[in-house]
A and B are shown apart, each in its own frame.
Chain A
């Protein structure tokens, strides 16, 4: 417990790694998933219903399964083994990106589809094709999409299954908040585990709070 009070450097590096991994994963996932969700929303193509159903289903992809898939891919014996990425923070980012991508894509798809219904005629009247409309729609939906991205971040920062399997919970290298909590729990040091859990909660609340404040300031500034 004194670890926390004294601002122990180990604790700090665990927190920093947790944020780095989850934030990077959410960023990467958003870069892919936001335009992807918009594309699926706007275009009709054969099998569209299947794709949408699949995306929605993958929102519930269990983190351990995502971790297992990435582990088998990145293992030396696996197809991507030559990069030697197993048991590194990079592997953790990959696993979490995989986990978060469907969430952001599926929810973006729904939001953009709703907007398109409202805007379709006017935008086409103004000469905007569907591709051209994508940045317009994404920006217009920014408030909803911020919540969507935060939901993705929540998922990433809360999960332990994926990062544990692909990261190996190596002390000082791939240990993050959630895996540290799991470790201390299995050590029987429940007070420490609980304290770490509280710190994680506070951290996530801070990030959400910042995003909320940002949104408020932005919308107030518009008037």
Chain B
């Protein structure tokens, strides 16, 4: 009987030990919530940047990485303190409608066209991205679209608009997935896909895929920082968020962005705008 009593006393203690520490996670250090995109987080940029910011200011940065569409939703609902996204139109609309205080250029990278090494649609030989996409369309080569209203997805749709073509049919596969998942699926399907360079460079499951087309100015992908408006959302940590906003557009922040390399290749190009 006593062994049972011992165990039945021990179990609640065990549980308590497991549960109690959760309470400590409460705000010890000051922090801000940064809503950004999955592609940005997956590139590893934040791990490179944030420790320096925290060291300089003592402010922690909690990154919620979602699709661009959801990041804007978070912005409109006031569930974060500052945004870092890559869709200029949406960013400007957010500020124009009073959800965000202002928009600043932070950095840019570019999108590249990924595809199977065999390149059945011969996009490597195309002169422009529009031509490359046209070749895929005509060859009806499998194409994996993110289909999730993300920045990448919106860019892809704009590019298709440029070609004047409407993609559809069995070869055009809308996945509704993040960048990493889309790349996984494209690799498995031997499909073409549009990806941001950052995610591609840190992606580990390339299989037979290669970067086949890049460099067209239309593939330019600018990032903007938008602190949320404290007049609209009184609970927002406006001061702390502003410090971040200033810092990543400062010399120090910008230099750090430019110094983030994967395999000796920089992922992002700082805007150096002040």
- Tell me, yes or no, whether A and B come into direct contact in the complex with CB atoms closer than 8 A: yes
B38 within 8 A of partner (CB): yes
Among the 9-residue stretches A58-66, A106-114, A124-132, A187-195, the one with 4 or more Cβ atoms under 8 Å from chain B is: A187-195
Measured CA separation A32–B19 after assembly (Å): 18
Closest to A190 in B: B205
Assess the A217–B42 pair: CB atoms within 8 A: no
Measured CA separation A168–B62 after assembly (Å): 9
Among the 9-residue stretches A35-43, A47-55, A84-92, A96-104, the one with 4 or more Cβ atoms under 8 Å from chain B is: A84-92
Measured CA separation A214–B8 after assembly (Å): 9
B138 CB to nearest chain A CB (Å) = 30
Measured CA separation A221–B5 after assembly (Å): 10
Assess the A186–B42 pair: CB atoms within 8 A: yes
Assess the B33–A87 pair: CB atoms within 8 A: yes
Specify which of A24, A168, A169 is in contact with B19 (CB 8 Å cutoff).
Answer: A24
Residues of B within 8 A of A214 (CB): 7, 11
Main secondary structure of the interface of A (DSSP, over half): helix
Residues of A within 8 A of B184 (CB): 185-186, 188
B243 CB to nearest chain A CB (Å) = 19
As a 0/1 sequence over residues 170 to 182 of chain B, the CB contacts with chain A under 8 angstroms (1 = contact) are 0000000111110
Measured CA separation A16–B4 after assembly (Å): 27
Once A27-B15, A170-B63 are accepted as A-B contacts, the answer to whether A76 and B203 lie under 8 Å apart by CB is no
Closest to B207 in A: A188
Assess the B65–A86 pair: CB atoms within 8 A: no
Assess the B19–A27 pair: CB atoms within 8 A: yes
B202 within 8 A of partner (CB): yes
Measured CA separation A25–B4 after assembly (Å): 25
Specify which of B3, B4, B63, B180 is in contact with A171 (CB 8 Å cutoff).
Answer: B63
Interface residues on B, range: 35 or more
Assess the A87–B3 pair: CB atoms within 8 A: no
Assess the B18–A20 pair: CB atoms within 8 A: yes
Assess the B62–A170 pair: CB atoms within 8 A: yes
Assess the B77–A75 pair: CB atoms within 8 A: yes
B247 within 8 A of partner (CB): no
Residues of B within 8 A of A189 (CB): 204-205
Measured CA separation A16–B22 after assembly (Å): 9
Measured CA separation A171–B61 after assembly (Å): 10
In B34-82, which residues have CB < 8 Å from any A CB? Answer: 38, 42, 46-47, 62-66, 76-79
Assess the A187–B204 pair: CB atoms within 8 A: yes
Measured CA separation A76–B76 after assembly (Å): 10
In A175-221, which residues have CB < 8 Å from any B CB? Answer: 183, 185-190, 214, 217-218, 221
B1 within 8 A of partner (CB): yes
Measured CA separation A88–B204 after assembly (Å): 30
Closest to A72 in B: B77
B235 within 8 A of partner (CB): yes
As a 0/1 sequence over residues 156 to 193 of chain B, the CB contacts with chain A under 8 angstroms (1 = contact) are 00000000000000000000011111011000000000
Task: Spell out B's residues near A (CB within 8 Å).
Answer: 1, 3-4, 7, 11, 15, 18-19, 21-22, 25, 33, 38, 42, 46-47, 62-66, 76-79, 177-181, 183-184, 202-206, 233, 235
Query: 7 tightest A-B contacts by CB?
Result: A186-B180, A188-B205, A168-B64, A77-B77, A188-B204, A76-B78, A188-B203
Extra contacts besides A168-B62, A173-B25 (17): CB < 8 Å: A20-B21, A20-B22, A23-B15, A23-B19, A77-B76, A87-B33, A88-B25, A89-B22, A171-B63, A183-B42, A185-B181, A185-B184, A186-B178, A187-B202, A188-B205, A190-B204, A218-B7
Task: Spell out A's residues near B (CB within 8 Å).
Answer: 16-17, 19-21, 23-24, 27, 75-78, 84, 86-90, 93, 168-171, 173, 183, 185-190, 214, 217-218, 221
**8 A-B contact pairs sorted by A residue (CB < 8 Å):** A20-B19, A23-B15, A168-B65, A168-B66, A173-B25, A186-B180, A186-B184, A188-B203
